[in-house]
Amino acid sequence: MILPRASLLIAGILFAAVGLVFLVDPARFGSVVDFDLRRPRQAIEIRAMYGGLCTGLGTFFLVAMNRTRWIRAALAAQVASFASLAAGRVVGMAASGPDGLMTVLAAVEVGGAVLGLVAFRRARQAFLASRADAERLAG
């Protein structure tokens, strides 16, 4: 289960890091993607969505990597999260025009989704093998 755990570790660190920087200083890090956070409502929304949600997902991935029963669910969430981010970014670029930073971020997100999918399949194989071993020993 090395690849599934490594995948969740990478996803967990990425999501938690992004979340924490947006919780701590949304204006500074939001300026990288041209967020205009002069009004409190905008800063609150960025802290909630980028800060809170990303920190929560990252924490879930990091906790799940150490709980065998949670690994496949967490990997499915990793795939869905990264794939949805990439899809939204691609739709946004199709509507607004391509952008260098957005293209790089979309590539990272596609990579996170693919890594999660490969790890999900690997985790399934490991689960089935361990289950077969347990049944063979019991029988």
Q: Band of the pLDDT at 70, cuts 50, 70, 90?
A: very high
DSSP per-residue codes, 123-135: HHHHHHHHHHHHH
Task: Render pLDDT for 83-137 as a digit per residue (tens, 0 to 9).
Answer: 999 999 999 999 999 899 999 999 999 999 999 999 999 998 776 666 665 666 6
For 10-37, the pLDDT digits (tens) are 999 999 999 999 999 888 887 777 787 7
C-beta of residue 80 within 8 angstroms of C-beta of residue 109: no
Q: Report how far residue 116's alpha carbon sits from residue 77's, in angstroms, rounded to the nearest whole number.
A: 9
Question: pTM for this one?
Answer: 0.85
- pLDDT tier for residue 78 given thresholds of 50, 70 and 90: very high
Task: Return d(Cα 134, Cα 139) in angstroms, integer.
Answer: 9
Write out the residue range of the structural domain in which residue 46 sits: 2-138
What CA–CA distance (Å, rounded) separates 68 from 70?
5
Q: Tell me if 55 sits within 8 A of 13, measured CB to CB.
A: no
SS (HEC) of 49-78:
HHHHHHHHHHHHHHHHCCCHHHHHHHHHHH
Determine the Cα–Cα distance for residues 56 and 91; give it in Å rounded to an integer. Answer: 25
pLDDT of residue 129: 67
Task: State the average pLDDT for the chain.
Answer: 90
Q: How many domains does the chain have?
A: 1
CA distance 5 to 72: 10
